[in-house]
Amino acid sequence: MREEKKIFAGVLFAPGDTSLREIKLKTHNLCSEYNLTFEDEVERRAKLIGEIFASFGAGGFIQGPIFIHYGIHTTIGRNFFGNFNLTIQDDARVQIGDHCSFGPM
């Protein structure tokens, strides 16, 4: 069984697996790039968010900086608000629904 499938099955997996490390490195690099953007760089931020997460609903906003582990294991619903220092350790599936806020508002 591939290591990523083990994650979704809820069984022990090897986080040092080459394919998992590649996913994490890509996501960490994308997060670093996002963290260098300004709030008015809406299109660039949207592109990066689209590459980081499995899905990100319409009307959402995340204030940087962000720290995401895998990203592709996370789905986020519509009208999400994530305040600064948003951290998602998605070593399993993470599903965030519509109209959710993380952090002080």
Q: Tokens 């009208």 sit at which residue?
A: 79
Tell me whether strands 94-96 and 55-56 are parallel, antiparallel or unpaired: unpaired
CA gap 87, 70 in Å, rounded: 11
What is the identity of the amino acid at 24?
A: K
DSSP 29: H
- The Cα 21–Cα 43 span in angstroms is 28
> Based on the structure, what is the number of domains in the chain?
1
Rounded to two decimals, the pTM is: 0.92
- Measured CA to CA, the distance from residue 29 to residue 24 in angstroms comes to 8
In sequence order, which ranges of the chain are alpha helices (DSSP H)?
3-9, 18-35, 42-52
Low-confidence ranges of the chain (pLDDT < 50): none
Instruction: Kindly report the CATH number assigned to the domain that includes residue 68.
Output: 2.160.10.10
> How far is residue 60's CA from residue 15's CA, in Å, rounded to a whole number?
30
User: What pLDDT shows up at residue 105?
Assistant: 66
Q: Tokens 């319409």 sit at which residue?
A: 58
Average pLDDT score over the chain:
95
Write out the residue range of the structural domain in which residue 40 sits.
Answer: 3-102
